[in-house]
């Protein structure tokens, strides 16, 4: 436990979106960067670790606001840093509607988490500078980052394997709540999410750093992937059962929120984001069942 914390440092700036700094002997990289309202604290935390070193890479697991919101502020602080992401993420961040939604959700999250305000930013800075693909390896000196395409949450979801023993799985595999419950998040494809879980499981990493949670303890690591698969199965069966009873998508969403929107979920995710995600999962299950 101690050795991994010496190499991978939690520099999260606030609730709702984690950020980890990988400090290699030659280069430094962030894995995700949290929400816009967290940016000032994120930068302060990162500076304390980096001291006078530069931030070289910002590796994004996907293009959702709670994972990339701080990008413009990081780029202002470290102009030479490169944002690395999937090709589809690059395409997404070139779309005005996507940038508008990111901004809207960022402001809503700031209000929920009690932030005073968000410093305005230029949408042009919210972009991917360099495309990374499956099996690409980034060398940081004494650390290496292997890129894994793990679709299902989005079409641009990436996981990151550090030194073949520490895995940052994408939200395609689900995410662990502070209550240690696994929530599914297969927004674009349920079947691809299951494939992504199996892909990560085969790596058998010693350490797992779950999205929105952090380092998973040893006991939960042993059952982590099976619990991810179970979360997908339970959600899929719930949706299909209601559909078989004649519920339309909106009524399924209402029932889904009653069952799965627990108190911990309310603390960890804005209502608009929860409904967007749930609606996408419902559509995905029903679409794939027809196919």
DSSP calls for 239-251: HHHHHHTT--HHH
Distance CA 270, CA 257 (A): 13
In the DSSP assignment, the letter for residue 76 is H
Question: What was the pLDDT predicted at 143?
Answer: 94
**pLDDT tens across the length of the chain (291 residues):** 446 568 899 999 998 889 999 999 999 999 999 999 999 999 999 999 999 999 999 999 999 999 999 999 999 999 999 999 999 999 999 999 999 999 998 988 888 888 877 899 999 999 999 999 999 999 999 999 999 999 999 999 999 999 999 999 999 999 998 888 899 999 999 999 999 999 999 999 999 999 999 999 999 999 999 999 999 999 999 999 999 999 999 999 999 999 999 888 887 777 877 898 999 999 999 999 886
Q: Which fold has domain 2-225?
A: Metallo-beta-lactamase; Chain A (3.60.15)
Segments making up each domain of the chain, as ranges = 2-225
Neighbouring CB atoms inside 10 A of 157's CB total 30
User: Which tokens go with 79?
Assistant: 């102009």
User: Which tokens go with 57?
Assistant: 């890479």
Distance CA 149, CA 151 (A): 6
């Amino acid at each position: 436990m101690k050795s991994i914390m010496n190499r991978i440092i939690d520099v999260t700036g606030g609730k709702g979106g984690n950020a980890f700094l990988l400090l290699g002997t030659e280069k430094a990289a962030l894995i995700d960067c949290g929400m816009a309202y967290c940016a000032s604290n994120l930068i302060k935390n990162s500076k304390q670790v980096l001291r006078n070193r530069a931030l070289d890479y910002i590796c994004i697991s996907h293009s959702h606001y709670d994972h990339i919101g701080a990008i413009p502020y990081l780029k202002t602080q470290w102009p030479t840093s490169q944002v690395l992401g999937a090709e589809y993420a690059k395409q997404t961040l070139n779309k005005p509607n996507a940038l508008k939604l990111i901004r809207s959700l960022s402001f809503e999250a700031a209000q929920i988490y009690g932030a005073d305000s968000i410093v305005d930013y230029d949408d042009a800075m919210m972009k991917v500078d360099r495309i990374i693909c499956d099996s690409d390896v980034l060398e940081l000196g004494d650390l290496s980052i292997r890129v894994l395409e793990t679709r299902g949450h989005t079409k641009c979801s990436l996981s990151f394997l550090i030194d073949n023993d520490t895995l940052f799985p994408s939200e395609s595999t689900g995410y662990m709540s502070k209550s240690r419950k696994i929530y599914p998040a297969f927004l674009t494809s349920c079947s691809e999410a299951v494939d992504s879980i199996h892909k990560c499981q085969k790596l058998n990493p010693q350490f797992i750093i779950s999205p929105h949670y952090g380092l998973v303890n040893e006991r939960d690591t042993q059952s982590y992937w099976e619990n991810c698969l179970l979360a997908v199965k339970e959600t899929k069966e719930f949706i299909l059962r209601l559909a078989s009873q004649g519920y339309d998508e909106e009524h399924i969403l209402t029932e889904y929120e009653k069952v799965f929107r627990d108190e911990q979920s309310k603390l960890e995710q804005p209502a608009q984001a929860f409904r967007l995600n749930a609606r996408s999962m419902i559509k995905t299950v029903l679409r794939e069942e027809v196919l």
